[in-house]
Amino acid sequence: MSINCLIIDDEQAAIDILRSYIKSIPSLNLVATSIDPLEALDIVNTQKIDLVFIDIQMPELSGISFIKLVKGRCKFILTTAYKQYAIEGFDNNAIDYLIKPIAFERFLQALQKVQIPHSASNIIQESNTGNQVNTDNFIFVKTDNRIQRINLSEILFIEGLGNYVTIHTEKGKFVTLLNVKDLEESLPSEGFARVHRSYIISLSKIEFIEGNQVYLDKDLNIPLGDTYKNQLWAILDGKTITGKKPPF
């Protein structure tokens, strides 16, 4: 048994991301995608749709209005760039609320709230633990006029400035309209750590820590904020051979 899915979004790039995620889960069946909510309404009315991924802000018909029209015939996961609609979405029985850009790990967490066949549950769990499915090793972010794929293994550090972040990678820099906290929540905690109110680092890229600086190489150092010192030590403690706390 598989779950029949529908994607509704007025941005084709956002549809493409969700399509790739859905196709990586064998027990999910993507029936259709649509940039037109009125067309999508006809699909729901004429085909068997179990789960809909729907953007909230769309011309002609909003995602919330769409949910109300369908009247419980299928389940909904909301996708949007704006957090302020979350409460209204849950008030209308949405299963979950995904903030764009959507990381694969966060997508899997949303699926775990759906009653899905046992085989699909296995795939999700294996993906989270890294045993078999490796498609959670990247994220997508919106930068300029494109949706950019960024491999997590290539991220050096992330620098925040107000409502923007710059993701520094081995291949270059990418600026996107996000804040550091939003991006921190989308990254796997076992691979990244916040070391300053404006910085997140890749743990695998740390060369050494000296004083209030984390060095990713001898010429690239990131400030270590007092608020985050104990948190970083707790993360590194299991990999630190000395029994004494490091002098930072």
Q: Is the model more confident about 218 or about 40?
A: 40
Taking alpha carbons only, the member of 46, 96, 94 closest to residue 67 is 94
∠ CA 98-196-82 to the nearest 5 degrees?
Answer: 20
Write the single-letter amino acid at 108: L
Q: Which stretches of the chain are DSSP H helices?
A: 12-23, 37-46, 63-70, 86-91, 104-111, 118-129, 180-186, 229-236
The CATH number that domain 3-129 falls under is 3.40.50.2300
pLDDT score of 236: 82
pLDDT score of 58: 86
Q: Which tokens is 91 given?
A: 């008030």
pLDDT score of 248: 55
pLDDT higher than 50, residue 130: no
Stretch 96-117: mean pLDDT = 80
DSSP symbols for 95-158: SEEEESSPPHHHHHHHHTTS---HHHHHHHHHHHHTSS--TTSEEEEEETTEEEEEEGGGEEEE
Return d(Cα 178, Cα 201) in angstroms, integer. 16
In the chain the first and final C-alpha atoms are separated, in Å, by 54
- Average predicted confidence (pLDDT) for the chain: 81
Is the backbone of residue 103 left (phi > 0), alpha (psi -120 to 50) or beta? beta
pLDDT in tens, 48-97: 999 999 998 888 788 888 988 988 889 999 998 776 655 655 556 788 88
For the chain, the structural domain boundaries read: 3-129, 154-239
∠ CA 134-135-140 to the nearest 5 degrees?
Answer: 140
Please name the residue that has the structure tokens 């909230």. 56
pLDDT score of 122: 38
What are all long-range contacts of 182-187, with beta carbons under 8 Å and residues at least 24 apart? 182/99, 183/158, 185/106, 186/99, 186/101, 186/102, 186/103, 186/105, 186/106, 186/139, 187/103, 187/139, 187/152
pLDDT in tens, 140-196: 787 776 778 888 999 999 999 887 899 999 989 999 888 888 788 778 878 899 999
Stretch 108-121: mean pLDDT = 62
The CATH number that domain 154-239 falls under is 2.40.50.1020
Return d(Cα 233, Cα 235) in angstroms, integer. 5
pLDDT score of 80: 83
Q: Are strands 192-196 and 199-202 parallel, antiparallel or unpaired?
A: antiparallel
